[in-house]
Structure 1
Amino acid sequence: MTQRTWFITGVNSGFGRHMTELLLEKGHKVAGTIRRPGSVDDLMAKYGDTFWVASLDVTDTPAVKEVVDRAFTELGRIDVVVNNAGYGLFGAAEEVTDEQILGILNTNLIGSIQVTRAALPHLREQGGGRIIQISTYGGQATNPGACMYHASKWGIEGFMESTAKDVAPFGIGVTIVEPGGARTEFRYSSLQMATPLSEYDDTPAAMTRAAQDRSRPSLGDPAVMATRIIDSVEQTPAPLRLVLGSDSYRFLQAALSERLAEVEAQRDTARLTDITDGA
């Protein structure tokens, strides 16, 4: 594998941590961002100069630009930018607060957008690179009780898919990663639960209240998933989407099939709103 320099947000846990450990072990350089000081001191001690670390809250747009610019300046070239920082929020629309809505959109959606925007001038100037967006099957499919999480992920997938078309002429590839459930701490340390309303107790939205139940482990092996993400950079052209996990495939296949069926059923009626020649 070609030795590369990676920029990864949120390297203290989850996929960010797994990817960072694997990359450093293989001799790559990693520029990682963290929110909690001291959370990667073990990796800094072990890997020294090959591991560049900065504190960053991706909701702080000026700080995003400063950190991204500094990373490119100090490391010279960054080949891969990974938007990994994010969290989950479960609850029906009535159950989540205004503060929770702003928080998840500022982190999962706007944070990734601003990291990407900060990196693009550097990637263009150096003649190419790769952007990897960690999403979820929930960026294409939905479950009840997770409306704002889905809103943030559907939004970032739309942004990334359009941006991929914009930056392809500059040799910049974009990959959206859509993992299923993984045995990380995401469900337990990176998941907010809205305060439940009794009116939703016997509705589908209530199913998400058991999301943090440790007796129901996820299917996915996070180390294997991290390896697949890393290996995707070797593919040319960049895969627009990377589906990880049989559960992800199952949810995506069902959701996309249902949506396509609904569209195809309206083929003849859709044209009724067209302006016809001679009208």
Structure 2
Amino acid sequence: MNAYIFPGQGAQFSGMGLDLYENSPLAQELFEKANKILGFNITDIMFEGSAEALKETKVTQPAVFLHSVILAHVLGDKFNPHMVAGHSLGEFSALVANGALNFEDGLKLVSQRALAMQKACELQPSTMAAVLGLEDAIVEKICATIEGVVVAANYNCPGQLVISGEVEAINKACEALKEAGARRALVLPVGGAFHSPLMEPAREELAAAIENTKFSKPNCPIYQNVSASAVSDEDVIKSNLISQLTAPVRWTQSVQQMITDGATLFTEVGPGNVLQGLVKKINREAQTASATFETDK
């Protein structure tokens, strides 16, 4: 069975999407539509902008989303998922790809999500840290002993868990985790505590937008970050999407469940190949590939 997976924030690179724009009339049309919806030429930043310009919150999330979704569109009949999943932001790309959301609504929600997260980040100094070489249960246990907000945020693969929370609490947790034998506990260069209780203001703001957006019956199940299980019901999809901002990304568990349910090939749709690397670390036997658009040139 074909599983299609969609990357999140951090996968962006300068020049992303330019090959699609230059070689596909459909891609060109969708990119131009995106410029109108967003109210600025995101294509200029994606195709020619610096890495710094691409890091701007209002740009990063829509840029990664557009690259993934437009690539899925131009693949046409070659895009044939039996199941989909996306890492954090990538969940929105997956929901457009499997027909649960239309292109316009997906892009509007991603843009609103980015701005709401930015606002939440500005309310309180917060950050995230990558913890390598410890079992998940040990990381969770140590975080629970630290004063302040610090929680498990991204279960990326066995031995790689990202924690999220208040700056001071994260620093204390990193020290404690190193003492407990973590190979590394490294604070990440991010602007806030994503997938933690500190994103509650953003969750509330995005909840209203999601509730007012029409979702359709998807063409295939999505394995959502919050539940790590197959979902096809529109109301459950909405509810999980709202919870996603303050809940952990259960990527390890999602991939394991997809394999249990019959996934044999994981194809990454969008910039980079980070998710393929994580899939291989979760299950060495799993087959992975990158979605590619073949031009006639």
TM-score range for the pair, normalised by the shorter chain length? under 0.3
Normalization by structure 1: what TM-score? 0.27
